[in-house]
Amino acid sequence: MIAYLPKSAVVLTLCLLFLPITFGLLGTLLPAFGYLPALGHHGLSLQPFRDLASTPGLVTATVLSMATGLVATLISLAVTLVFIAGHAGTPMLSRMQHLLAPLLAVPHAAVAFGVAFLFAPSGFLIRLAAPFLGIDRPPDVLIPHDPLGFTMIAGLVIKETPFLLLVTLAALPQVELGAARRLAASFGYGRIAGFVYLLWPTLYRQIRFAVYAVIAYTSSVVDVALILGPNLPGTLAVQLVQWMNDPDLDARFLASAGAVLQLGVTLAALLLWFFLERLSAIMMRNARERGWRFERDRLLCRASVLAVGLVGGVVFAGLAILAIWSLAGLWRFPDILPQSFTLRSWMSASPSLGNAVVTTLITGFASTLLAIALTIGCLERELQTGRNVGEKSLLMLYLPLIVPQITFVFGLQLLFIGTGSGDRLAALVLVHLVFVLPYVFLSLADPWRALDRRYEIIATALGRSRISVLLSIRLPMLMRPILTAMAVGFSVSVAQYLPTVLIGEGRLATITTEAVALASGNNRRVIAVYALLQTMLPFLAFALASLIPAALHSDRQEMKV
């Protein structure tokens, strides 16, 4: 009986990822072709697409979505590559790893608000400079919301670089770093060139799906685009949300057609990236065959340190500014600090906070526990059959990350109401699971596969059953990565907005739904309170993930990190 569990875990996992997305997409596709009986439209037509085509600024919005996504991904990946190439194997890098996880815990919206509060013409940096430059009014400069989306790209780079760095660092142990370094150096290649020629192709193969996920995310992001992006016109995703919220109900067809276009934009961005991959592979081969050694790369190495430092610095400075705003009384330009401090914003948030925190915790824990159980089941099945999941199933795992949320969550909402399911919380946990599962799986898969199997072989030889080997050897030894994967999953759940609002029908309020509702009022103090709260919960999860194993393993010197 127990032996069947892993097998059913695989089936269940695949269903959980595949079915909601398929049905969700169906629920979007039908209205896109004019079918939505509730509004009295029973026939199929191309009218929604015709309306879409005649929308002013559509081309600009589409190009913006694609370009900001691709450029942000390109910059993030370039910074990651140069930094890792320049510093892999140095002590600095292993120290970095500890700093990166908390950066991941900061939600996108908090990062974006931090960037806005720092760099806006009435933001903190100008206030710092104001006494020296003699400024008493904020300059009339177009930041953020600049038409070419530079501020938005900067915000996305700041958020995505730590993610790509962490993914790359996780994959790094799988390449022969030391040997390659020595070989490249002995032939007189620069650090970066040697790394790129010898190791990058293997490494990139490991992280490419993560890169695709970044492209999909950045080309369809809503919150960052709203806070930092251009708005005349906004990116396609922002306009989609506006159409979905249009009081004119027939705009729903336009929104559905737009969602299909958004899927197209994301796919086109991925396709373009695919060509870029080919192009850079050719360029790299050329450079390698010509023996270009790029020996003088020290400046580039240092620049990458600066870039990574800047990324971290902006995130933490942004959080600090958020903290000040959450406590600010009247804070006028160009004062560097508020005239008075008050707990008012925190106090007025507190009555509605209790329920939101409880819902956030329940949903986060439940979806994370389910995800970790399914992931362990799948990975155990892998060990049993001796087969790796392979590229195809990996793509399946990435499906919820690559298909833009906005294109299938609305359809999913129709489905849930259609089933007459009264249990909203269960539905919410299931939908969160769709997004939590991939991240948990991807975080745990590598350490799981990397564990030396000889421990288990010995234990089995001594007559232990598979399940007892799993419970007494594998799980304890993998305690740290398991908890880290759970922390990642939990923070993914905390950050979900669209699915929570739609499936929870607004009745299940989480920290994030409260934050977005209040952010629409644009009160900096309130925004700050909720952005900090949104950061705090995942932060705690990560802290627990590193403290629990330390406490459990305090008597075992070898298990310490």
Partner 1 sequence: MRSMAAIFAVGLLAASSSLPAAAAEPHISDWNRIEQAASGQTVYFNAWGGSENINAYLQWVSSEMQSRYRVTVVQVKLDDTASAVAKVIAEKASGKNEGGSVDLIWINGENFVSMKQKNLLLTPGWATALPNWRYVDSENQPTILTDFTEPTEGLESPWGGAKMVFFYDSARTDASSLPDNSAQLLDWAKKNPGRFSYPAPPDFIGSSFLKQVLAEVIDDPAKLSQPVNEASFERDVAPLFAYLDALHPVAWRSGKTFPQNYPDMKQKLADSELDIIFAFNPAEASAGIKAGELPETVRSFTFSRGTLGNTHFVAIPYNANAKEGALLTANFLISPEAQLRKQNPTYWGDPTVLAISKLPEADRAAFAALDLGAATLAPDKLGPVIAEPHTTWMNRIEVEWRRRYASGN
Site for partner 1 in 113-132 (CB under 8 A): 121-122
Map the footprint of partner 1 across residues 378-417, applying CB under 8 A: 413-415, 417
* Burial class (CB within 10 angstroms; exposed 0-12, middle 13-18, buried 19+) of 80: buried
514 binds partner 1 per the rule CB under 8 A? yes
Map the footprint of partner 1 across residues 18-57, applying CB under 8 A: 19, 23, 26, 30, 36-39, 42, 56-57
CA 205 to chain centre: 19
Tell me the window of 242-250, 361-369, 455-463, 534-542 that interacts with partner 1 (CB under 8 A): 242-250
233 binds partner 1 per the rule CB under 8 A? yes
* Residue 472 CB contacts under 8 Å (≥ 6 apart), including other chains: 459, 464
340 binds partner 1 per the rule CB under 8 A? yes
- For 134, the token pair is 């003699």
What residue type is assigned to position 8 of the chain?
S
> Measured between alpha carbons, how far is 332 from 325 in angstroms, rounded to an integer?
12
Q: Length of the chain in residues, anyone?
A: 561
Coil, strand or helix at 41: strand
Map the footprint of partner 1 across residues 417-446, applying CB under 8 A: 417-420
Listed residue (509, 536, 40, 48) closest to 259, CA to CA: 48
Candidates 46, 133, 185, 249; binder of partner 1 (CB under 8 A) is: 249
Binding mask 161-200 for partner 1 (x = CB under 8 A): ----------------------------------------
505 binds partner 1 per the rule CB under 8 A? yes
Q: How far is the CB of 212 from partner 1 (least distance, A)?
A: 26
**DSSP state, 37?**
G
Strand partners, 328: 341
Candidates 3, 8, 15, 98; binder of partner 1 (CB under 8 A) is: 15
Binding mask 308-327 for partner 1 (x = CB under 8 A): --------------------
Q: Which is nearer to partner 1, 48 or 489 (CB)?
A: 48
- Give buried/exposed letters for 393-417 (b at 16+ CB in 10 A, else e): bbebbbbbbbbbbbbbbbbbbbbbe
**DSSP state, 38?**
G
Tell me the window of 75-83, 152-160, 258-266, 522-530 that interacts with partner 1 (CB under 8 A): 522-530
> Measured between alpha carbons, how far is 419 from 417 in angstroms, rounded to an integer?
5
Candidates 45, 202, 348, 384; binder of partner 1 (CB under 8 A) is: 348
Coil, strand or helix at 36: strand
> Measured between alpha carbons, how far is 256 from 262 in angstroms, rounded to an integer?
10
Tell me the window of 167-175, 210-218, 457-465, 504-512 that interacts with partner 1 (CB under 8 A): 504-512
Judged by CB under 8 A, the number of residues near partner 1 is 77
280 binds partner 1 per the rule CB under 8 A? no
Q: Which is nearer to partner 1, 67 or 303 (CB)?
A: 67
